[in-house]
Structure 1
Amino acid sequence: MQIPPLSTRLVHVSLAVLALAACAQTGEVHTGTAALADWRADAPGVRRHIRPSDLPAPAMGNDPEKSIASRVEVVPPPQGALPKVPDGFAVQVFATGFKQPRTLRVAPNGDIFLAESGTGRVILLRESAGDTTAKVEVFAENLERPYGIAFVPPADPRYVYVATANQVVRYPYRSGDVKAASPAEVIIANIPTKRHWTRDLAVSRDGQRLFLAVGSASNLGVGGMPDMTPEQIRQHETTHGRGAAWGEEENRAVVRVFDPEGKSVRNYATGLRNCSGLAMQPGTDNLWCVVNERDHLGPLVTPDYMARVQEGAFYGWPWYYLGDREDPALKGKRPDLKGQVRLPEVLIQAHSSALSAAFYDRDAFPAEYRGDAFVALHGSHSRPDRTGYKVIRVCMKDGQPTGEYEDFMTGFLLDNDRAWGRPAGVAVTRGGALLVSDDANGTIFRVTRK
């Protein structure tokens, strides 16, 4: 047997160490009550690991349809202000002047698509050689709060799909197109728009299945779901999925799956109160989502989360949260679902408002970042002491989350009542930079390694 030279063996050892050291930065991991703390503990490199056992009991007696705190005041950025990122990284303004920029997606050719929800437009951004700012084009317009964007088929797309608040449409597309060549073709119509309106999209590797996130019509569903008998529930679940809600919540709080022509649409997973961000794990058909959980159980309950979305799985809303924890407002309503709730993989500080996720699959960042996920936390309004208003890095090992996450981009809060930025979308460019949309002041930031 031929033995590799020492230099080669050392390289292999170094790579193995990096692979094992995912998120292994200096400093302790905040656990227990420290992991639940507010924004004052935030800084690039700070890590948290929240476990179900860390959570206090839910607050009792709160109105299940009311929030418990006020919204933050959005103010202009201080002169020269930029968000904070870890040592070894640089952040720049990539583009600005947008109204409610949300989801970012990168086409196979490197063009960047942005859902500008506040104007009803889909924007195309193109990186310019030797320039840190983007060239801006309007790809499509006159849409109702566009949000999700998907390229189908993913490797060599012939269409750009866009999910708006009330429908899914598509446009013919060829690599390099900067404007839609024809009007929108409606694929799924008449999506209800009450309350949660963010509709994200993801697509399987073969392009044969698309996934659509549809959030709930309420915080908890207590007023919009009339009582049904056990037999009526059983019949409903045979067509809508285990734990599926009904009434005004029918086909809400779900991820749906459909074929590219929109001829077959059904629920793929249920009990996801508001899955605002979908992401397909690179090299797999593993679908992940980040979820905004309910607001009425207190400032520390219940966590937002990132979960792998499995077909046929039920994630608890509205009757349960984090496994068999029953929501006090619906106590005793669905004992048949106890033991049927799938636990999410990563718990995030409660009320952080996780909006989007993107896996890092490039080589520009340090090796230990590869395979991890970035998540944009838009920021809380349902707790007196703020959480969120940052981008976190979710730690993965061998393709599975460790449960830990690390602050990556912070500094948007001036104090507990004022913020100059709210992260909304994240995407990884073909060159390996991280893009972050801020929908408070209409800016796209670009993070690179120094």
Structure 2
Amino acid sequence: MFRKIALGFVAIVVILLAVGLYLKPTTNGPLLDFITGKQLATPTEATIDGRFQLPAGFSIGVFAANINNARMMRVTSRGDIVVSSMRPGEVILLHADSNGDGASDGRTVLLTGLDQPHGLAIKDGYLYVAETGGIGRALFDAETRKIGVLEPVFSDLPPGGNHKTRTIDFGPGGWLYVTVGSTCNACIEEHPFRAAMLRMKPDGSDAEIFATGLRNTVGFDWQPSTGRLYGTDNGRDLLGDDIPHCEINLIEADQFYGWPFTFDDLVVDPDFGAGRETEIASSRAMVHGLGAHVAPMGIKFLDAATSPEGYGGKALVALHGSWNRSTLSGYKLVSLEFGEDGSVTEADFLTGFEKDEDVIGRPVDIVQGADGAIYVSDDYSGTIYKIGWGDIIVPGSTLATSASASNPLEGIGETELIAFRGTGLDLFESNSCAFCHDAKQAPEGVQVKQLKKLGRRYTIESLQAFLDAPSGPMPRPDLTDEERRALAIYLLSEY
């Protein structure tokens, strides 16, 4: 008996080693998390500075750490971040930064005991949560951070399978959309909701299939300028390193997107495409290929009103990273620019999660705060990163560490201060600054960026420098150096 047990143990070890060799993991590769559920530690500030690369003008830091299997996120009206902690079955509220260090001020566990919670949505005083087998909602007061009891809204989602996550969001007309991945790599599904996008009313009624043939669409978002719905889709495996693409699809009602019969630009699938000419001819091709096995997750169109020049309207996509490719691919954020002619231009946005086969994170979702800050979840290290630009404070950045803790106006005499304040107020009003920074004076449709606690972030000199070269979309005011100083002093004394 002991010999049989020993042989069995050896066989298990051999199988695991064989799988490991097949997947070709690295010491810090994704196989560690896949098999054991073990999380990496959040990277140190030195590692972040040495590894991560962003376009000029952006900076990154840790907003919150130790969120096991952090997946999808939503931003509340208070500026908090709701995040699904999938493996432990929790939904966590990360408190907004109010002390000026750029990091979350704390957290509240909103819900526990859930079955693989993933997608989140906030609508009309409710927090919606998608578990693997259904969707529930609870009354949620974002201002007080209080939540009620989670009650079922829709309980007919097929649970589990190879792709067990369910992503939700509200779209035009108040419909609640949800995606359900396939049970398999490639097969003919029996349940009609598999490999599909559904939509329903907020109370779960009038559920209908919206689109099909979507193998595993983990992320989707509406393009603000057109209202078009775009989604990421994970391509099938076991056809080699370089095919098929993971896809960006323009998802429209009653359309079929090819899986499992075709992929890419209507290439016939070698296992399931034969004899399916009719289905292939009627299917929609991808609008953009992201590369094979990169595993796209969240997609987020950036707000034109709060994003730096050149990024408003672009989409960011999180590439979770490959698990079965001979060399690793993905493990980064890319930006997508959608041309009027239907073209899509891709560029790296955030890289460094993988370097020379060493993996320190796997990005999942992307959200944007009211001030323009970009948040990225990483389920491999349990981290929420914050990406800032301009005057957005990021933990560990110059803005977070260099601003004086003392009064930035210290040393200015009272008479001089009164004079500067008066001049600064005149400049503030004559340049119509209140139109963008005062909700009471802002024209209809203008997204207000409130000014607060500027003294925690700026000295007179650093605020002067910002006014001389502001980040978009703020225009550069035509001021002399002395006028910029007066305006900086007014802003620091008033806000």
- Tell me which interval the TM-score lies in, with the shorter structure as reference length: 0.7 to 0.9
Match of 1:286 among 214, 218, 228: 228
Q: What letter matches 1:409 in structure 2?
A: L
Q: What letter matches 2:112 in structure 1?
A: E
User: Residues 418-433 of structure 1 correspond to what in structure 2 (within 5 A)?
Assistant: 418-433=358-373
Match of 1:269 among 201, 211, 235: 211
User: Separation in 2 of the partners of 1:283 and 1:162?
Assistant: 28
Q: Which one has the bigger strand percentage?
A: 1
Is the counterpart of residue 141 in structure 1 residue 112 in structure 2? Answer: yes
Deviations 1:319-374 (A, max 9, x none): 11124311011242312213211122221011000011111014443221001111
Cα deviation for residue 78 of structure 1 reads 6.1
Q: Which has the larger radius of gyration?
A: 2
Deviations 1:367-423 (A, max 9, x none): 21001111111100131111110011111345x86321111111112322x301111
1:204 is aligned to: 171
Distance 1:285 1:87, change over 3 A: closer
Cα deviation for residue 295 of structure 1 reads 0.7
Is the counterpart of residue 111 in structure 1 residue 80 in structure 2? Answer: yes
1:330 is aligned to: 272
Deviations 1:96-121 (A, max 9, x none): 01100011111344332111112211
Distance 1:331 1:385, change over 3 A: same
User: Separation in 1 of the partners of 2:69 and 2:202?
Assistant: 28
Cα deviation for residue 285 of structure 1 reads 4.1
* Higher RCO structure, 1 or 2 (CA under 8 Å, sep 6+): 1
Distance 1:342 1:190, change over 3 A: closer
1:42 is aligned to: none
Match of 1:84 among 53, 56, 64: 53
Deviations 1:83-106 (A, max 9, x none): 221221110110001100011111
Distance 1:331 1:181, change over 3 A: closer
User: Separation in 2 of the partners of 1:78 and 1:131?
Assistant: 17
User: Separation in 1 of the partners of 2:165 and 2:183?
Assistant: 12
Distance 1:142 1:189, change over 3 A: farther
1:217 is aligned to: 183
Cα deviation for residue 430 of structure 1 reads 0.9
May I ask how many residue pairs the two structures share in their alignment?
Answer: 353
Is the counterpart of residue 182 in structure 1 residue 149 in structure 2? Answer: yes
User: Separation in 1 of the partners of 2:77 and 2:211?
Assistant: 28
Deviations 1:135-177 (A, max 9, x none): 311122211111111122xxxx221111111111111123424
User: Separation in 2 of the partners of 1:425 and 1:331?
Assistant: 32
Contact between 1:137 and 1:179, CA under 8 Å: does it hold in 2? no
Structure 1 runs of 4+ with >4 Å offset = none
- Identity across the alignment (%): 30
User: Separation in 2 of the partners of 1:274 and 1:220?
Assistant: 11
Cα deviation for residue 179 of structure 1 reads 3.3
Distance 1:118 1:91, change over 3 A: same
User: Separation in 1 of the partners of 2:173 and 2:272?
Assistant: 41
Deviations 1:276-317 (A, max 9, x none): 112123365422211111012211111111112100111110
Deviations 1:27-65 (A, max 9, x none): xxxxxxxxxxxxxxxxxxxxxxxxxxxxxxxxxxxxxxx
Is the counterpart of residue 127 in structure 1 residue 69 in structure 2? Answer: no
Q: Which one has the bigger helix percentage?
A: 2
TM-score (norm 2): 0.68
Structure 1 unaligned residues grouped into runs of 5+: 1-66, 226-245
Q: What letter matches 1:440 in structure 2?
A: Y
Contact between 2:258 and 2:280, CA under 8 Å: does it hold in 1? no
1:253 is aligned to: 195
2:409 is aligned to: none
1:302 is aligned to: 244
Contact between 1:290 and 1:306, CA under 8 Å: does it hold in 2? yes
Distance 1:277 1:179, change over 3 A: same
Structure 2 unaligned residues grouped into runs of 5+: 1-20, 30-39, 391-495
